[in-house]
Structure 1
Amino acid sequence: MRKECYTKSILELWNFNKEDIESLTKDDIIRAINSYDKNTMYGKLKSIDDLLGEVIRNESGYIVGAKALQNFWFLSLNFSAVDMDKTGNYAGTADWASEEVLDWENAFLQVMENVSKTLNNTYYYSGKSFGDISNAAMFQDMDLLCIGIVIMVIYVQLVISKFNWLEARVVLGSVGMLTIGMAFIVGAGLCSLFGVHYGPVHTSLPFLLMGLGVDDMFVILSCWDELTEEEKNLPLPEKIGLMLKHAGVSITITSFTDVIAFLIGSSTILPCLKSFCIYAAAGVLMTFVFAVTFFVACFVLDLRRVESKRNGIFPWIVHENYVPNECSQKRISNKTFEYVYSNIILTTPGKIIVVLITVVCVGFGIESTLKLEQRFKTEWLIPAGSHLAEFLKVKNFYYPEKGFDAGFYMGALDYSHELNNIRDAASRLENMSDVTANVVSWVEPFRDFVLYNFKHDVFEEPLDDVRFHLFLSKFLNSPRYAKFQANFIFDGDLECGAPTPRIKMSIIDFHFHRFENPRDQIPAMHRVRDLAENANFTTGDKFATTWSKFFATWITDELIDIEVMRNLQLALLCVMLCTILLIADWQICFWIFICVLVTMVNVCGFMQRWGLTIDVVSCIGLELAIGLCVDYATHVGHTFLTVHTGSRQDRAVKTMSSIGCAVLFGGLSTFIGVFMMSQSSVYTFQSFFKIFCLVILFGLFHGLVFLPVILSWIGPKPYRVHKPVPQSEMEIS
């Protein structure tokens, strides 16, 4: 019996004869569909029920039409010959395939693309479609990243430049953006050097680093502007030292906390989340390193340019007697903050309103967080408009009952003596009517084959080893049952006329139902796995299990709830410990912790209201959220401790007038960085945009509004200041 490619199509009813097919009428097709012999054509076309979609029947149950038709082509693959270095895909999401298989699939996709252009309502996909499309989705929105960078550059110029020829810091702003690019490249390079894989969601990292890097830049420049007149008269190296005395500590605290939080997140058992957290930690660390070294060095060069009165846009132009206009020297944003906080927010009515808003939002956030669902579908990662997205949409509509293929796997048993146990396991699998369907077992057909041809009931009396392997060979090489060859893996080649080699593994195919509630998938998976574990095999290696390629997604769904809570708790604990060590004030650390905690509660709650669920993408987003929101409160809390004069109210106002602008502008820069994600059709970018928006909104509110109100009431005393030793005492000493 010759071997041929395995296909599944109603064209097999006419043996793929082109002339016969072209002469068919609609009545001929309907008659053949209703009267075909399921045992013909080598038994391959067992049933056409799963090939027809939205079947139309008359009163007697006779098929008279269908709205959809699907065909299958199955490819043969030698897994031991697969070289993932050659055939793997950059996204790491492709099925294993050989070069020959990929060549066939590429040709198939090209043919179907041309067919779909001329034949309407034609949809298609191949095994490599998901990998290719998810890989392309990583880079399809690079134009949005470029647009976001341009917008960010313009925004940075508007914030850091003063509107005069000398203090227009065009070059410095560009260097700041270059610093972020350098940090991403070096961080990603280091991770790749150590073998950490780069996944589809990692493309969002530049957006995150833009927000964090620009925030560090604004803090450095804000602390420069806060130098007193006496300090500004000191030599340049001393002025830079005084600037970094506060700015360096502030960004060190936030960066170190972010890095530790991400490293804690990398301890997860989910590979994608682990990889992303490692890349994020490396990126944030390198952003900090380049900010306090490369950017500060470039800032010094820019200051020397200002001192030499060189033009901020065209440095080769020197303005000898240029005097900056008076308007450009006004610190409007700082004065605006001072006015708003002293006259509105930090008044008694303002404080009461702020606390009430905070309490209401927290209550609403807790209520919504309790409703947050864990749900994820792989097709969410497929961009709309792709051939796979269109195929899945139509398939789910016309074939709503089509479930998930799976297999019941058995190892090197003594099959002759275990046939009854295998039959019982297959029977129990069939009886799980709420879980499985279409159980295709080779055991009953093998028993019928032996009983009919050799008058021996293998269920009543086991065969000896020699006859079992001989009868099994005849069974698998018979026209009707040759289809079961794919259900065995032998320790050698199967030859017609010779006993089969030792069985290394055998498979019973079945399907899961399509579950209306994704949460029903996990119990179904555990039930069939428990069935395999309790199969009661007594011979051989006794190995038995069930497996489906969908289990990877289901197990992730099962663990994601636990992983989210674990990572958030560890990250919050990390924030608390890091701020205690670096800020060295219990009360400030406590209020920073409260701000971060309340922000995360609100983010989770409003996520639910915005239609997001708990999945791998949102888990990564929440991990990043802690790193973002801790910055806002930490900058404010640390600055409050460095203000030494006045009451708590005065110190709170002074804190916000000095650092508030930098924190607000940093938050806005993060929003600008992620805003372009909203224009993407990729689910990952859409989810990150929503989460980051909530983080920025609530993080800024709690850091810039709620925390100053609390500090104006019960804030701690400032750091102790050591008075300088008088000159005479120094000389005596």
Structure 2
Amino acid sequence: MHFNFVQKYISQFFEYYILLIIHHPWFFISIPILLTVTLSIGLQYQQNAFVKDELSQYIPINAQAGNELQQLDELFHIDDYDPFYATRRYDIKRTGYIIVRSIVNDEDVLKPTILDAVLKLWNVIQSIRVEGPNDTTFDYPSICVKFPISPEFDEIIANILMHKSSRLQEECVSNPLITAFKMFLNGDLNPKNDTIDQRVLKLVADSISLDLLTSICNFLGGITFDEKHRISGAKAIMLPYALRHSTVFQDNLAEKWELKLADFLLQYASNIIKTSLWTYETIAIESANGREQLIKMLLPSFLTLLLYTILCCCLPSWIYSRPWLAAGGVVSVAGAIISAIGLLLLLDYHITSVAYLMPFVIFSVGVDNVFITLSAWRSTSLTDSFELRMKKAFTDASLSITITSLTDFISFIVGCFAPFKSVQSFCLYAATAISFTYIYQLTFFSAILVLTSKREIAKQHCLTFQKMITSRKRKYSGSHFQVVPYKSHTIYLSTIKEEKKTITYRNNHLIANFFRTTYSDWLLKPFVRLIVLLLFILYLIVSIWGCLHVKIGLEPNKLLSIDSYGHEGLSVMEKYFSDYGSYLHVWMYNLSQINFSNRQIWTVLEDEIALYEYTEYTGLSDSWLRTMIQYFEKNNIAITSDNFVYILKNIFLSQPQFARYKRDILFDSTGNLLDVSRVLVQLRYVGASNQSRAMRILRNIAKSRTIKTGVYADFFQFAEQYDAMLPGTLSTIAIASFAVIIVSLLLIPKKVTTFWVSLSIITVNVGILGFMTFWNVRLDFISMITIVMSVGFCIDFASHLAFNFAKDEGISTSERMRNALYNVGVPIIQSASSTIIASIDSYIFRSFLKMIILVITLGALHGLLILPILLTLFNCDNKTTYATSRKDKLNVRTMKKVSKLTLTSSFSAWYDSSTITAIDTTPKYIHTCRNPIVSHLDIITLQSYWDHQSYHPNVYEKYCDNELTSTLHQTFVRQSYPNFYTSFTDFRYGSIPRSL
């Protein structure tokens, strides 16, 4: 089934559409400008629409961890004014920590001088004040979450302080060890202004019971123990904090305090200690800094790309250079970006820091269209009328641009449904910008192209628009002429009369001629094809191996720049405090609906708890059940199925020392049955590298139990992306690729060509995923964005070549490949390099630059190397090829017969002439060139004349105009005069002979 009717209808539309632009160019220039100015009003809402980069931007939407957290919150909701029990806290909002180390690496932080410095630092931190309404100020104690003084901690204080009245009932969240020293200094045992000595340190250390050892270990890093298993030293000490945030007012105060804390610690200097910091605002602060730097880089990137595009559009001629066309192309892209952002902001869409990468990508896509359009105009015949040339150039370029823009748009639209908010935001802005880029390409830039082409034909200066005087002239005398060579390439032709008539011939890009001749000849060699195909197979094997070993998931510190304080804080945290991490929440629910029959409920629950304590990532648990049983055994209280709930409610939970366990137990509506039980299990050795595995193990345990069980830990939300990333990426690639293939099938004339384009999409994406492994790039939301882009980007190069290959009919496959490479080789090289230029300063994520380079490099290699060979080797369009080949053979036989009769007289008579620089230009001679039977004689004549470094324009021009005999001439000259054929074809496709 043929789908090229779509392509034909679109071509007809563009042919009529360009006529409107030719007659009304300024209208099509003014409309995009007015639209851009109008939509730019939305930019004023940028600050309000900006969404801070929080954890929710990088975790999967509708992730299982979100449901687990919601269930946990519904069962055991915690309010800011509730007593703060750190192990039972599942809400990490407005919490953070300061890690203090000695200024000397690995020195013991429990030395009195260091502890004294830590305490003084903590006192200063607590005194940091932020402004509130009505000139009020708030310090840390006035906005902190408070925790009750536990009996164990109370016992420590009692051993230190002489007067019990000095003790507190509640204290702000902090390190209990530092709190103990602080309360000690305020007591009667030692004057307030005295420093801590070794005697005091020993007193506090001896006061810490073994029951509190695990709790203290959570706040000390790099701990060493003595022979009695007491803490004898540590390398780091943690100062945690927690702020109230249940209301908007409290949350705003907490945010201000955290920002002020970060500013203070970044400027804090001490000759005893050094600090590392992590706050809830750290990611937001770092992303805001990155956003500001990206905004600052937009103008330099724009100017750099503008200069590069202008240089690519300039030639050594003031007439045929097109700086204003290049500037118009880049400006149209800039207008499209402004319009897209302004429109979405006016529609009240949010914008994230990741979306600020979009302009760098869109600039590259738009500049690609500039190069394609320029190449299409250069490929038109000078002998055609202006309107005919514009129709041909605009139709070819617009069809190719339509394919690439539509495929890019589809890729980004599919990316809008990715399971990550950050990816959705980027793709939404990119898809909108692609749409505006396409619209402005067909209006603003096309009108600039019309005006530039008119200026070129009028021989006006490319900058000043002044009429240029040509510098290459041919002096005529009668029916003969002399060539007076100058440096430019303007050719004057004569008629039989002595009047001077000029036709200007335009040089095409030197690299374009290279692609059509030298490069194409190289690709057509069997040995080269074999080597390339073998390397392509090796590339696939290596890429597949890399795909099987790709690292998945974004590590938290990858969100931050290496030199940021947040990156240092995470690194220090993982180094010193990974052994004793947060707690795993395990809750068993709907217990009241279970018939335990002869089993004892406390025995069943104890067995369930033990399953979570003996994994490679967990330690002991803080279990109310175990504590209750020990308490009852100590007090000789018997437990039975009948009195279990009663003694639990009225005896165990009524004791002050067990008050924290009230947060772990829920009864049914009657109050007679236990319905929900929670246990806190300590997590150990869980880092960024094994979070996903730890989460899967713990969830699998919960799924395997007959009792309904839920599990949740702080790292679950971030670890969720490890499991969602690969399926999300593959599904996005599959959907986008399918849609892109459908578009290619409709707009590229040949089905076989579409098949190879589709294969290119697959092989490019396999290569990108595979080479990520070798370049140490992880599969995360950043690489997911570029992979979504790659579906559209990689087909940009392939579709340009495939479309130009498929549109030519009636010529051999190798000629179609030459024509395609001639038309798109230079634009592919230029657009690939401009893409790297546009994104090389994109600093936020280093992997973004690496991924862009992979996408562009692999896409360009497929478009310039792999696809041409596949199209020529496996093209199934046998009908056209056979007909052309048969016609060529018949014409060659006819030509050879005639050549024997006419060669000697016709050629010898001319060659023996003593005036080599003169050629008869009578109509009879020109008419001979048009004769398909004897025209090979003119080729011989031209060959001889070529050897004497002369040139006959009439014969060349008439030959180029004669479309009926072009196939005949090409076949004969190819077989008889291979050296001459290359130069002769160069002329036909737009290059001046080198001898001129």
TM-score w.r.t. structure 2 length?
A: 0.61
1:24–1:4 Cα change, 3 Å: closer
Following superposition of structure 1 onto structure 2, how do residues 454-469 of structure 1 map, counting pairs within 5 Å?
A: 461-462=642-643
- Give the corresponding residue for 1:326: 488
1:259–1:508 Cα change, 3 Å: same
Residue identity in the other structure for 1:326: S
C-alpha offsets along residues 429-473 of structure 1, whole Å, 9 cap, x if unaligned?
A: 5533323235223444456678889x86666544677x8666677
Select 1:667's aligned residue among 832, 842, 857: 832
Select 1:247's aligned residue among 372, 377, 397: 397
Residue identity in the other structure for 2:761: V
Does the CA-based 8 Å contact 1:607-1:613 persist in structure 2?
A: yes
Could you tell me how far apart the structure 2 residues matched to 1:281 and 1:657 are? Answer: 31
Does 2:686 align with 1:509? no
Select 2:738's aligned residue among 573, 584, 587: 573
Does 2:157 align with 1:5? no
1:168–1:629 Cα change, 3 Å: same
Cα displacement (A) at 1:567: 2.1
C-alpha offsets along residues 538-567 of structure 1, whole Å, 9 cap, x if unaligned?
A: xxxx8x522233212222211222222222
Does the CA-based 8 Å contact 1:222-1:662 persist in structure 2?
A: yes
Following superposition of structure 1 onto structure 2, how do residues 199-598 of structure 1 map, counting pairs within 5 Å?
A: 199-231=352-384, 233-235=385-387, 239-306=389-456, 311-313=461-463, 317-323=464-470, 326=488, 329-331=506-508, 332-409=510-587, 420=602, 423-424=605-606, 427-428=609-610, 430-445=612-627, 461-462=642-643, 474-475=654-655, 478=656, 480-483=657-660, 507-515=678-686, 518=689, 520-529=690-699, 532=702, 545-598=710-763
Q: Provide structure 1 residue ranges, at least 5 long, that are not aligned to the other structure.
A: 84-96, 492-499, 721-733
1:260–1:26 Cα change, 3 Å: same
Could you tell me how far apart the structure 1 residues matched to 2:207 and 2:430 are? Answer: 62
Does the CA-based 8 Å contact 1:649-1:713 persist in structure 2?
A: no
- Give the corresponding residue for 1:707: 867
Does the CA-based 8 Å contact 1:199-1:272 persist in structure 2?
A: yes
**RMSD between aligned residues:** 3.8
Does the CA-based 8 Å contact 2:288-2:353 persist in structure 1?
A: yes
**Equivalent position SS for 1:70:** strand
- Give the corresponding residue for 1:28: 200
Cα displacement (A) at 1:654: 2.0
- Give the corresponding residue for 1:724: none
C-alpha offsets along residues 10-56 of structure 1, whole Å, 9 cap, x if unaligned?
A: 122335344558432245325523542467xxx8x973112222223
**Equivalent position SS for 1:509:** strand
Cα displacement (A) at 1:363: 2.4
Cα displacement (A) at 1:384: 1.1
Cα displacement (A) at 1:307: 5.8
**Percent of aligned pairs with the same residue?**
22
Report how many residues are paired: 671
- Give the corresponding residue for 2:309: 156
- Give the corresponding residue for 2:476: none
1:62–1:523 Cα change, 3 Å: closer
Could you tell me how far apart the structure 1 residues matched to 2:836 and 2:713 are? Answer: 41
Does the CA-based 8 Å contact 2:276-2:565 persist in structure 1?
A: yes
Deviates more, 1:325-334 or 1:275-284: 325-334
Could you tell me how far apart the structure 2 residues matched to 1:425 and 1:193 are? Answer: 58
Does 2:815 align with 1:650? yes
1:228–1:390 Cα change, 3 Å: same
1:198–1:421 Cα change, 3 Å: farther
1:271–1:347 Cα change, 3 Å: same
Could you tell me how far apart the structure 1 residues matched to 2:627 and 2:781 are? Answer: 43
C-alpha offsets along residues 562-587 of structure 1, whole Å, 9 cap, x if unaligned?
A: 22222223333223222111113211
Highest Rg: 1 or 2? 2
Cα displacement (A) at 1:114: 3.3
- Give the corresponding residue for 1:91: none
1:318–1:710 Cα change, 3 Å: closer
Does the CA-based 8 Å contact 2:368-2:827 persist in structure 1?
A: yes
Residue identity in the other structure for 1:48: I
1:705–1:110 Cα change, 3 Å: closer
Cα displacement (A) at 1:241: 3.1
1:110–1:710 Cα change, 3 Å: closer
Residue identity in the other structure for 1:575: V
Select 1:57's aligned residue among 225, 229, 235: 225
Q: Provide structure 2 residue ranges, at least 5 long, that are not aligned to the other structure.
A: 1-147, 149-168, 472-486, 491-505, 881-996
Does the CA-based 8 Å contact 1:560-1:615 persist in structure 2?
A: yes
1:634–1:121 Cα change, 3 Å: same
**Equivalent position SS for 1:71:** strand
Could you tell me how far apart the structure 1 residues matched to 2:413 and 2:625 are? Answer: 51
Could you tell me how far apart the structure 1 residues matched to 2:372 and 2:312 are? Answer: 12
Residue identity in the other structure for 1:28: V
**Equivalent position SS for 1:229:** coil
Residue identity in the other structure for 1:700: A
1:273–1:297 Cα change, 3 Å: same
Does the CA-based 8 Å contact 1:640-1:718 persist in structure 2?
A: no
Residue identity in the other structure for 1:107: K
TM-score w.r.t. structure 1 length?
A: 0.81
**Equivalent position SS for 1:123:** strand
1:353–1:423 Cα change, 3 Å: closer
Residue identity in the other structure for 1:177: V
Residue identity in the other structure for 2:241: W
1:158–1:586 Cα change, 3 Å: same
Deviates more, 1:438-447 or 1:638-647: 438-447
- Give the corresponding residue for 1:638: 803
**Equivalent position SS for 1:14:** helix
Does the CA-based 8 Å contact 2:592-2:675 persist in structure 1?
A: no
Residue identity in the other structure for 2:807: T
Residue identity in the other structure for 1:198: I
Cα displacement (A) at 1:218: 0.8
Does 2:240 align with 1:72? yes
Select 2:774's aligned residue among 603, 609, 613: 609
Residue identity in the other structure for 1:525: M
**Equivalent position SS for 1:98:** helix
Residue identity in the other structure for 1:278: L
Cα displacement (A) at 1:399: 2.6
Residue identity in the other structure for 1:407: H
1:183–1:404 Cα change, 3 Å: farther
Deviates more, 1:19-28 or 1:443-452: 443-452
**Equivalent position SS for 2:549:** coil
Cα displacement (A) at 1:120: 4.4
**Equivalent position SS for 2:223:** strand
Could you tell me how far apart the structure 2 residues matched to 1:175 and 1:718 are? Answer: 43
Could you tell me how far apart the structure 2 residues matched to 1:246 and 1:576 are? Answer: 20
Cα displacement (A) at 1:662: 1.4
C-alpha offsets along residues 571-605 of structure 1, whole Å, 9 cap, x if unaligned?
A: 33223222111113211011112222222222222
Cα displacement (A) at 1:157: 0.6
Could you tell me how far apart the structure 2 residues matched to 1:617 and 1:595 are? Answer: 23
Does the CA-based 8 Å contact 1:153-1:177 persist in structure 2?
A: yes
Residue identity in the other structure for 1:424: E
**Equivalent position SS for 1:406:** strand
1:554–1:400 Cα change, 3 Å: closer
C-alpha offsets along residues 237-261 of structure 1, whole Å, 9 cap, x if unaligned?
A: x543332211111111111122223
